[in-house]
Chain A
Amino acid sequence: GAVVSQHPSWVICKSGTSVKIECRSLDFQATTMFWYRQFPKQSLMLMATSNEGSKATYEQGVEKDKFLINHASLTLSTLTVTSAHPEDSSFYICSARTSGRGQFFGPGTRLTVL
């Protein structure tokens, strides 16, 4: 149990395009989902926290208009990188939390913006 999937696992796009990444909790309902990114040789850094049905809370320095988060249901959260640029190339990973069971991670999405 407690499986979190992400789609796609990798994506290459042109500068200026938008990319949507999905995070799903497959066998449990996630009250909260988190989005992280990791630049090479750096730690996973929290970008935002999203609760189902409400607006996401963004960490300092993360542009909410650039990284759109939608948490439409208890099993799905999406992160859309709008007008992606090469500096947005990174590894994006989500995690899902359910009360009493801790936090479970997806396998991540590698984004490369050309």
Chain B
Amino acid sequence: ILNVEQSPQSLHVQEGDSTNFTCSFPSSNFYALHWYRWETAKSPEALFVMTLNGDEKKKGRISATLNTKEGYSYLYIKGSQPEDSATYLCAFIKNNYGQNFVFGPGTRLSVLP
């Protein structure tokens, strides 16, 4: 059974603070890691698709890094805003077979004004 973990489970920060959270995944047979942003009552929104060890991707104030050898990815948010409040999910894809995602439980971020 593949185990994908995320920490912390939840996080409360003040507006303007920078924050980061972690996704841990099996380091063997890695194919890709996806990050999603999921607001309540909406569809999960794709943030990043990461495939290469050492990848760093950025989208506005949000960035992510990937270490496939040790099996972790970090998501960073710089200068958090209330609209960043959401659950951030990572999803691990093992090999290319079926493109089946194994999700982590998510990190719920609340940004207080």
Residues of A within 8 A of B98 (CB): 49
Whether a CB of chain A sits under 8 angstroms from the CB of B11 is no
Select one of A41, A44, A103, A106 contacting B99, CB under 8 A: A103
* Residue of B with least CB distance to A110: B41
B100 touches A105 (CB 8 A): no
Residues of B within 8 A of A102 (CB): 46, 49
A43 touches B4 (CB 8 A): yes
B99 touches A105 (CB 8 A): no
Residues of B within 8 A of A41 (CB): 105
Task: Please report the total number of B residues contacting A with Cβ < 8 Å.
Answer: 18
A79-103 near B? 1/0 per residue, CB < 8 Å: 0000000000000010001000011
B106 touches A43 (CB 8 A): yes
Whether a CB of chain A sits under 8 angstroms from the CB of B59 is no
The SS class assigned to the A binding surface is strand
A105 touches B4 (CB 8 A): no
Residues of B within 8 A of A32 (CB): 99
Give the size category of A's interface with B: 20 to 34
Residues of B within 8 A of A34 (CB): 100-101
Residues of B within 8 A of A108 (CB): 43
A-B pair number, CB within 8 angstroms: 40
Residues of B within 8 A of A28 (CB): none
A49 touches B43 (CB 8 A): no
Residues of A within 8 A of B99 (CB): 32, 97, 103
- A52–B99 CA distance with the chains assembled, in angstroms: 16
Residues of B within 8 A of A106 (CB): 43
Say how far B26's CB is from chain A's closest CB, in angstroms: 14
Most buried by B among A32, A44, A49, A93: A44
A43 touches B49 (CB 8 A): no
Tell me the chain B residues, 4-34 only, with Cβ under 8 Å from chain A.
Answer: 4
Q: Can you name 5 A-B residue pairings with CB atoms under 8 Å?
A: A36-B103, A43-B103, A45-B103, A49-B98, A105-B44
Nearest 8 pairs of A and B residues by beta carbon: A44-B103, A105-B44, A43-B103, A43-B105, A107-B43, A105-B43, A107-B42, A106-B43
